[in-house]
């Protein structure tokens, strides 16, 4: 077994404490040799362990490799996980997986716990104002998941917006201080809770909230990282009360093979 695959095998056994239902893209490695190909898989945690995840084909809106203005669709391989073999060109590449909306009905107590977990305080307040705290919540949700891959010799990844309904963008890196944007359709979305997970330990490292300009700036030690965030608004669809957009971003800070 290669070192990279051994690390992934160990990662699958690590618990993701404190929160459940995080979903993200996980490459076998973030720093690649010139013109090397790597496997990128969809991962999910229930708060106790990490496992492979599989999306039905009709749930995938796009799965592609992006570099600058070049977009290359990725072919999903059959198996127990949604995955693809990605040829990594020189520089920084972004793999993006965007899902179609899915409807779910949640009992009032489960929806309240979910809002607390995701830091959606404004939705909690709106539910109280509308007298809906004991009402079943009807929700449509979708995901925008991104991972950053870089070629050997590049010091840090350079992220850019992918036009998702909601996404996280690693905007700037100065030494060990990183700045992220919370964007809705490319515009700043202030006041959003962002959770930072250390993929090497499987533990939650920090929770932050974007400022009025949609920025989150914080120091992070070198390692493999996952940032996640959820935005929610009142839905205009007849069958739903709420529309939520789940964003995740994985990358390696302090690049090494």
Which whole number is the average pLDDT over 240-252?
Answer: 97
pLDDT value of residue 20: 58
Measure the CA–CA gap between 83 and 145, rounded to whole angstroms. 13
> How far lies 81's CA from each of 52, 72, 247, in Å?
5, 20, 19
What 3-state class would DSSP assign to 170? strand
Mean pLDDT of 7-21: 48
The pLDDT mean for the chain works out to 89
The pLDDT tens digits for 190-239 are 999 999 999 999 899 999 999 999 999 999 999 999 999 999 999 988 89
Residue with the larger pLDDT of the pair 21 and 252: 252
Within 8 A by CB and 6+ apart from 142, the residues are 61, 98, 99, 100, 101, 102, 165, 244, 245, 246
Pick the range with the lowest mean pLDDT from 95-104, 105-114, 153-162: 153-162
State the pLDDT confidence band at 1, using cuts at 50, 70 and 90. very low
* Residue 11 pLDDT level (bands cut at 50, 70, 90): very low
| pLDDT 10s digits, 102-153 | 999 999 999 999 999 999 999 999 999 999 999 999 999 999 999 999 988 7
Per-domain boundaries in the chain: 3-253
Q: Determine if the pTM surpasses 0.85.
A: yes
């Amino acid at each position: 077994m290669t070192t990279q695959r051994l690390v992934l095998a160990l990662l699958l056994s690590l618990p993701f404490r404190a929160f459940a239902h995080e979903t993200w893209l996980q490459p076998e490695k973030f720093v690649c040799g010139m013109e090397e190909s790597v496997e990128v898989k969809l991962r999910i945690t229930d708060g106790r362990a990490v496992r492979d995840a599989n999306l039905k084909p009709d749930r995938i809106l796009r799965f592609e490799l992006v570099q600058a203005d070049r977009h290359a669709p990725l072919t999903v391989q059959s198996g127990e996980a949604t995955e693809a073999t990605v040829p990594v060109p020189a520089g920084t590449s972004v793999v993006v997986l965007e899902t179609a909306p899915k409807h779910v009905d949640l009992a009032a107590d489960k929806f309240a716990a979910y809002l607390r977990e995701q830091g959606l305080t404004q939705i909690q307040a709106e539910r109280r104002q509308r007298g809906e705290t004991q009402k079943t919540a009807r929700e449509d949700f979708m995901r925008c998941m991104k991972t950053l891959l870089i070629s050997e010799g590049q010091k840090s990844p350079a992220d850019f917006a992918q036009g998702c309904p909601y996404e996280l963008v690693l905007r700037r890196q100065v030494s060990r201080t990183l700045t992220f944007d919370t964007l809705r359709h490319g515009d700043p979305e202030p006041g959003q809770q962002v959770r930072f997970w250390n993929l090497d330990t499987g533990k939650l490292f920090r929770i932050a909230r974007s400022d009025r300009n949609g920025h989150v700036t914080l120091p992070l030690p070198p390692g493999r990282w996952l940032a996640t965030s959820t935005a929610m608004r009142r839905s205009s669809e007849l069958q739903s009360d709420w529309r939520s957009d789940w964003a995740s971003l994985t990358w390696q800070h302090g690049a090494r093979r």
